[in-house]
Structure 1
Amino acid sequence: MLVLKLISISMDYQDGMTGKKSKHAVSELPSILEYCGYLGGMNGIMVGPHFYYDDYTRYASGTGEYANLGTQKFPRRALPALKALGTGILCAGLFAFATKTVPRSAIIFSKEDMSFFKRFTLSFLANMGYRSRFYFAWHLSESAYILSGFGFDGYEEDGKTATWTKAINAPIADIELNPSAASVVTRWNCHTGQWLRTYVYERVGGRGFWPVLVTQIISGVWHGMTTGYVLFFFNSAILIHCSRVIYRIQKEYLPKKYLAVSNEVHRVHTLFNLNYVAGSYAAGNVYKCLGWFASLYYLGHIEMLTIILVGTIFFPRKHPKRKAAAPASQDEKKKA
């Protein structure tokens, strides 16, 4: 988290000094006290969520959305904070239960001759239990962010219901039941995802698979220089691109009446492949990664690459038709 903050404040200051129009650019170098306050202050210093320096300065100075902080006009925080805390405690219980019942490494890297269905089902439960420890930590941080008031991000359209977007780092339903892998990565550890988009993806430039691959590889290096992490994020880049191909086919080729059915098929594809690539996240070396993929007959890679090839060859991107230019008037012809 300190690395994320260090890079973001450096690049935001660089943007401000060079005149680059970016959302979080700052034009003044922070003092030592302000800098240390940004790095060490606030909640979630170990696990996030990440926040930007300009958000921190508005909070510290009581300006912008925090102008009413400490007064009766500021939204009530007790109920949403308790809700986040309760969810975190439930996730901690799930993690404790799953760790004892279906230990992740014992399932994924077991040499036992399991059927495909049994191995996949047990690994899915084990990975869900493993994810719950992150849900616990992030919901604990969320409750602290809300209590401090820092998670406040304005009101909904009704002007009365407060939103705590800055505090939320992993909405569970949006992750576990999402039909699109490309959307899942924006919800899982979403503030770090925003950091990657702001400082990597948008600055790499281009479109398609390349910026996604660079972003995911940098994410893997940030997590740790192990084969398991790098392979996980490399494969997740393929999965994200595959999901985008599916979405494009749904949007440009399928009739709307089949959208609900195709969404469910997309959801099954996402659940299977997220669990499939997650096995490499737990591995420490390339041999364990390949052993895990081989135990599932490389079906995830075969399916994803097949979808990308079929979608690219038989369902190419439809370019919108350009509107024909209106004929020039007599006055315009004379001017020409």
Structure 2
Amino acid sequence: MDTRMEMHICQRPSLMEYLSYNLNFMSVLVGPCSDYKDYIDFIEGRHISSRLHSHTFNGYKKPLEPSPVRAVCEKLLICTGCVLFFLIVTRSLPIKYNVDPEFLTNATFPTRLIYAFFSVQASRPKFYFAWTLADAVNIAAGYGFSRIDENGRSSWDLLCNVNILGIETATSYKSFIDNWNIRTGAWLKTVCYDRAPRYRLALTFILSALWHGLYPGYYFTFLTAIPITMAARAIRKSIRPFFLGSKVVKCGYDIVTWAATQLAICYTVMPFLLLAVEPTIIYYRSMYFHVHILSILTTAILHQKSKAREPSAPNKRSFSSDRSPAQCNNNGTHTNKYF
């Protein structure tokens, strides 16, 4: 609610302002999504000054003038690495080979699983490239400044849409989603998840599918993500606490959850890359729908165990009322009910 209050506007935008916000040259192709108030501050020249702090400079207070050059160069360097990776690795691991009839006939299940994992991993740099380049374009225009840190270095991550390290090291489904298409995720949370009275998770994923377009693969991906997210939540809530007592055990748990998360993401996003219905069904059939089945069973089992551990409402009331260590008898003296 605080974020929404900060971003609220008091005056309806004119048609020119509205079209400028939606069709500006910096983000018309691949984003990133930004708040209207931030965009208007940028257009009217308040974007940096409203975030700029004063620092002591040679004994005088002088406002820093952050330069975007370093941030743009870093983004372009990442883009170059993504392009090279795409040309060298991605093209040698085509996604459509996952549904090639000959491959499915001759390859064992572990082989199909391993190829799917590496082919999906190899397909990510093209998304990294597009979002990072779009971020660089905005920063080069002077849009994207967020703050100056305690070391006096300017940060240009306001419109950052992807955290590559966070994605590649994610040990939970939520962590992966939080670092992928960050600005769109923030928009979905604000307009749908925080506002929906019921079924917030399902409605948010359905809205995300509609937002992406009309390819059937998008709907397979986001509908599949619903039970997987529910299972991941249940596992984290019910099982993770048992592995936090030791650093070694916690490290082992993180390794296992990293592998499980990456395999689950691979299974989920495959339709997003295949796009059509027939190859999606072929792929899921070759995987025996195992993630669908495991996620639904896990959610159901852990949900039942969680309900079994919770005392019923009458027991809760009885527990809270009877727990008092001492009560007054009719004579006004205190008696202890339990002793």
TM value normalised by structure 2: 0.79
Corresponding residue to 2:210 among 212, 218, 221: 221
1:256 to 245, 249, 260: 245
Does the Cα contact within 8 Å between 1:98 and 1:125 map onto a contact in 2?
A: no
Task: Give the Å deviation of 1:286.
Answer: 3.2
Once the two structures are superposed, the pairs formed by residues 98-113 of structure 1 within 5 Å of their partners are 98-112=89-103, 113=105
C-alpha contact 1:98 1:126 (8 A) present in aligned 2: no
CA distance 1:159–1:65, shift in 2 (3 Å): farther
User: Given the alignment, which residue of 126, 130, 137 partners 1:144?
Assistant: 137
Matched, 1:37 2:26: no
Give the distance between the partners of 2:185 and 2:308, measured in 1 at CA: 26
**Alignment partners' CA distance in 1, 2:226 and 2:152:** 39
Q: Which residue of 2 aligns with 1:96?
A: 87
C-alpha distance in 1 between matches for 2:14 and 2:273? 41
C-alpha separation in 2, matches of 1:203 and 1:271: 30
Provide the residue aligned with 1:289 in structure 2.
280
Q: Taking structure 1 as reference, are residues 250 and 149 closer, same or farther at Cα in structure 2, changes over 3 Å only?
A: farther
Per-residue CA shift, 1:291-319, capped at 9, x if unaligned?
Answer: 11121222212322232123212345988
* Distance across 2 between alignment mates of 1:267 and 1:233: 21
1:236 corresponds to which residue? 225
Question: What is residue 156 of structure 2 aligned with on the other side?
Answer: 164
Q: Distance in 2 between matches of 1:188 and 1:24?
A: 22
Match of 1:183 among 175, 180, 187: 175
Identity %: 24
Instruction: Report Cα offsets for 1:245-296 as digits up to 9, x if no partner.
Output: 1221245554432433222222111011110112221334433222111212
* Residues in 1 aligned to 2:101 and 2:169: alpha-carbon distance in whole angstroms: 28
Q: State the 1:124 CA deviation.
A: 2.0
Aligned residues: 303
Quote how far apart the aligned CAs of 1:95 are.
1.9
Query: Contact conserved, 2:38 with 2:47, CA < 8 A, in 1?
Result: no
Contact 1:88 1:140 in 2 (8 A): yes
Q: Distance in 2 between matches of 1:90 and 1:302?
A: 38
**Are 2:301 and 1:310 aligned?**
yes
Say whether residues 1:115 and 2:104 are aligned partners: no
Taking a change above 3 Å as real, the CA distance of residues 180 and 285 of structure 1, as seen in their structure-2 partners, is: same
Please report how far the alpha carbon of residue 111 of structure 1 lies from its aligned counterpart in structure 2 after TM superposition.
4.1
Q: Whose radius of gyration is greater, 1 or 2?
A: 2
Q: Distance in 2 between matches of 1:159 and 1:202?
A: 35
Q: Distance in 2 between matches of 1:274 and 1:197?
A: 20
CA contact (8 A) 2:72 2:139 kept: yes
Q: Deviations over 1:131-153 (max 9, x none)?
A: 21111111111222222221111
CA distance in 1, matches of 2:160, 2:168: 15
Counterpart residue identity of residue 232, structure 1: T
| C-alpha spacing 1:78/1:37, structure 2 compared with 1 (3 Å) | same
TM-score (norm 1): 0.80
Unaligned runs of 5+ in 2: 53-61, 311-315, 326-339
Q: Which runs of 5+ in 1 are unaligned?
A: 1-14, 16-20, 328-336
1:9 aligns with none
Q: Distance in 2 between matches of 1:83 and 1:248?
A: 38
- Paired position in structure 1 for 2:38: 55
1:79-90 equivalent positions in 2, closer than 5 A: 79-90=70-81
C-alpha distance in 2, partners of 1:284/1:144? 29
Distance 1:317 1:56 in 2: 50
Q: CA deviation at 1:67?
A: 4.5
Contact preservation (8 Å) 1:116, 1:296: yes
Structure 2 counterpart SS, 1:165: coil
Match 1:74 to one of 57, 65, 84:
65
Which structure's residues are more often strand, by fraction?
2
Report the alpha carbon displacement of residue 100 of structure 1 after superposing the two structures with TM.
2.8
RMSD of equivalent CA atoms: 3.0
Match of 2:128 in 1: 135
